Amino acid sequence: MGANAKRARFTAKGRSEALARHMAGLRLDGEAERRLAATAGVSLRVWRRAACAHPVAADAHMAICAVLFLDPVWLKASTAPRPAGPVCWATLGAGVRVTREMRGHGVREAAKAAGVSAATISRCENGRVLSFDGLARLAAYVGPHPRQYTVAIPDRPAAVRDDGRGSSTGNTHCNSLKLQEAGDA
């Protein structure tokens, strides 16, 4: 059995339980938990959910594993580089679509080969957020390690960051006007 097939067989429940066992073995006090959670960039609540074997978002799972120097798929000690940042779901989706088309698979055939539902394939190809289990299975289908689908987040422009009026509103047109105002000042 190849590495990709083994990776796809590691279940979400098994992965959550393995991470919780590793975290329990660390025997951290409250302050150490807070520091590690902050280093990972996750809330203490998410850190503790992972420590209790509850599933967490893919980005949080990968960040926690990076802080603990664990491979996020196998949960074994790893010296591999940390993820660059959060998962770029559009890149994974494009990779799944290209791989599926190159192999001549339809959505259902690809889903069966990857060990996920057809709905998961559809969500992935449309750039939607998936669970870590879905990410791991689809990364195994495409080939690269899930870490390869992470991207660094660039800094915001100085005009937006430094100007008191420069916070984002969520409206692209309004944000453009705020940037323009900041340039006029």
Neighbouring-strand partners of residue 180 = none
* CB burial of residue 52 (10 Å; 0-12, 13-18, 19+): exposed
Q: Which residues of 27-47 are buried (b: 16+ CB within 10 A; e: fewer)?
A: ebeeeebeebbeebebeeebb
Distant-in-sequence, close-in-space partners of 107: CB < 8 Å, separation ≥ 6: 100, 118, 121, 122
pLDDT (tens digit per residue) in 63-95 = 999 999 999 998 899 888 888 788 999 999 999
Chain Cα centroid distance, residue 119: 19
Per-residue pLDDT of the chain (185 residues; tens, 9 = 90+): 344 444 444 688 888 999 999 999 999 999 999 999 999 999 999 999 999 999 899 999 999 999 999 999 988 998 888 887 889 999 999 999 999 999 999 999 999 999 999 999 999 999 999 999 999 999 999 998 999 998 887 765 555 554 444 455 555 554 555 555 555 55
